[in-house]
Chain A
């Protein structure tokens, strides 16, 4: 994949402002024919904004875009499609209830007069599938496909529109390491046929593996350009965050005590009645962090919902501190001392229109001193808020500010403050640092470890393998609704975990407890 010297796409001095932030400031980039250009940066560094400008979803405030040397005005996706740009968005842009063929032709339909010609569409899709070795069934419904397959549909969608510039936005976020390898093969076959690819990621290893050139973005600016040959993970990480930070958390040895959370063959159904959690058994002890590793969508979300009472348990038992709380109400489970940092903080964890103070008592508003009988005690609520804002370093103009005005990191701190300030021995944290700034991540990690050291049992669910490895004392790997293995964090390796996350049978992994789905996993020691 030797990159040519022909520049297919160039952006010059792009600036884009949103209210309160400069998302891109004087960003320039060049993309050569047949190369993979990686765009590396933290969440919120401005990568996606830049790509949305190139794709016509946003409009730059200043700067220009050139395609094959010609200045172009991209005022919408139809312009970018016409210029041969295709984009695979981080959240797939597929209609779940449509078939693959319908999704691919949408907006550029094969027609027979005013009527759809789906046969012609099927022919063209099969042709593309064969050409690029992308196996999909045109008549399958998208909602029935795996994420990896959906991603291939997105790529065919771009190819069907004759795209030769392909933008992939965080394409590996939802893939297993093995699926990621597979995607890389596809990318290489695309560039071999003369297509150019912009690969957006915040994962250093992947960028080093696939890119011809690497551009690093930080706070909306280009902070450096390099190649995999010159760069190392450490040098890239420094460029990305501006200082030397690796995801490492200082923590001492765990001193596990009695089991706080016990799951006994818990089975949970999803909204469509499928078994998404299949006979999961595990124990989380006081004073330890159990991390659940796994690719998104393998049942972690539903498992947490079932433990916290937000989703019915189909069969099996959930015990907290030895008491059976299977299918108890969320209120009762919360009153056993179960703190819950929910996966979707905007949707579940906060009422955005409420003040910081009201959000800090969202699940304790009815208890003294915040209420006497049914009458609220506003003074107590306000005092409580002032205390927590200070202790948890929540950056807000005041306790009465609507929480919607806070940054992502500070919103998450509001939730962390609320949940950790309650009397409790169990903390369930789902994706606690997703999409927030490095400073807040460090702070939150420290607080979680501090909870453990004070004797709380912590169940950590995260899609970031690095986070799981940095925080956990034990790691349970979840695949297709089952815990396929539980390993001590100290001896677990990325490769091993990656294989388990992809559903490989745990064979020659020494001295761990392996769950076969029925046997209860014992804690080591």
Chain B
């Protein structure tokens, strides 16, 4: 886990570093285990066999090559969402609006994808991704600007913007951008041009590669650049940031823009890589899962990857579980909520494992609703 000063680690004994990472991972791992146990109790209570359910779940997510590629597919937007929420957290902002930003990114990437024909992939793909990311950024910038200049709390504004985005994208997909091919009656856009679809690079989907690169880029931005230092300073102590000559307003807007950029990119990647068009009701629940992932990863961008893979496994295996054991796939949401609870209330896990509280940076959000 990144401590306040871990940026000075090059010469630090690597064993100490590894121990530090293991130590930081204990609470999240224990939280997952406890959540799975409680989830098992709920499954048993509703009359099914939790062992059967869980083995089907993990078989469906990891049991075969196809299962694993499904897991990667599910994990890709989760990584982008988890990064978006983590980055905002670093600046003391709670972006519950990843969902809406993802929708805006997805619908605009789809538009670029289906409206332009005949562009080469090398141009079409970057363009569609960029437009998607920018629309996500614009959507988040609304909340960031309102927070910076009027003090409207981002928790409420981003949720409201989610609902606006649902309605707006629904209208686009059912109105001006509707798929007019004969026989189609549902709300959806036309399929994107084949040149705009994301290819596999030596068998690995481009989407997951981009997600991993994004995680590394976010880590670099936060810990190795002055911009990251400014973001973190505003998140840790806004009045000290002001004293140090950092513009709190500028960083608030910037953090939301970067966060929305990532979420929008996630939407664009999923549209171009997996779905191939925009459909309303797209990836519902991603916003909340992204919060769980960010907290499970303790807002560490690199740790977002394994956290997303874990949840990807569950999502990929859910239908197998439902088929094999009759347990409704919604149990995943219950387990995710329990993971979030145990990670957030880490005092419980610490008390059980007799771990000391960690020093260093904390996530605090509840500091007033004013500026």
Contact = CB atoms under 8 A, between A and B. Distances in A.
Contacts of B236: 351-354
Interface in A399-413: 399-402, 404-405
Contacts of B360: 353, 402
Nearest to A331: B245
A353 B5 contact: no
Interface residues of A, number: 36
A353 B5 CA distance: 9
A358 B359 CA distance: 16
A351 B360 CA distance: 11
A376 B362 contact: no
B244 A362 contact: yes
Contact of A400 (B5, B10, B224, B229): B5
A363 interface: yes
Nearest to A401: B5
Interface string A341-356: 0100001111111110
Contacts of A21: none
B350 interface: no
A349 B241 CA distance: 9
B240 interface: yes
A349 B245 contact: no
B239 interface: yes
A222 to B, nearest CB: 35
Interface string B126-151: 00000000000000000000000000
A313 to B, nearest CB: 16
A376 B225 contact: yes
A301 to B, nearest CB: 13
B247 interface: yes
B240 A378 contact: no
Contact of A355 (B5, B227, B246, B362): B5
B46 interface: no
Contacts of B229: 358, 365, 376
Contacts of A29: none
B218 to A, nearest CB: 14
Given A351-B236, A357-B8, A374 B227 contact: yes
Which of B4, B7, B10, B233: most chain A Cβ within 10 A? B4
Contacts of A366: 226
A308 B244 CA distance: 11
A401 B224 CA distance: 19
A209 interface: no
Contact of B359 (A334, A362, A365, A405): A405
B242 interface: yes
B243 interface: yes
Nearest to B361: A353
B223 to A, nearest CB: 8
A371 interface: yes
Nearest to A309: B245
A398 to B, nearest CB: 9
Contacts of B167: none
B237 interface: yes
A310 B227 contact: no
B243 A349 contact: yes
Contact of A347 (B8, B227, B239): B239
Contact of B237 (A329, A334, A352, A374): A352
Contacts of B243: 308, 310, 330, 340, 342, 348-349, 362-363
Nearest to A363: B244
Contacts of B224: 375-376
B245 A329 contact: yes
A243 B357 CA distance: 40
A358 B237 contact: no
A338 to B, nearest CB: 11
A319 interface: no
B225 A351 contact: no
A382 interface: yes
A371 B226 contact: yes
B245 A363 contact: yes
B52 to A, nearest CB: 46
A358 B245 contact: no
A348 B359 contact: no
A265 B233 CA distance: 34
A116 B223 CA distance: 56
Interface string B349-368: 00000000001111000000
Contacts of B247: 329
A298 B239 CA distance: 22
Nearest to B227: A374
Given A329-B245, A348-B243, 20 more contacts: A308-B243, A330-B244, A330-B245, A334-B245, A342-B243, A347-B237, A348-B239, A348-B240, A351-B236, A353-B4, A353-B361, A353-B362, A362-B243, A363-B243, A365-B229, A371-B226, A375-B226, A376-B226, A376-B229, A399-B5
Interface of B: 3-5, 7-8, 10, 224-227, 229, 233, 236-237, 239-240, 242-247, 359-362
25 contacts: A330-B244, A331-B246, A348-B242, A349-B243, A351-B237, A351-B240, A353-B4, A353-B237, A353-B359, A353-B362, A354-B4, A354-B233, A355-B5, A358-B5, A362-B240, A363-B243, A365-B244, A376-B226, A378-B7, A378-B10, A381-B8, A401-B5, A402-B4, A402-B5, A402-B360
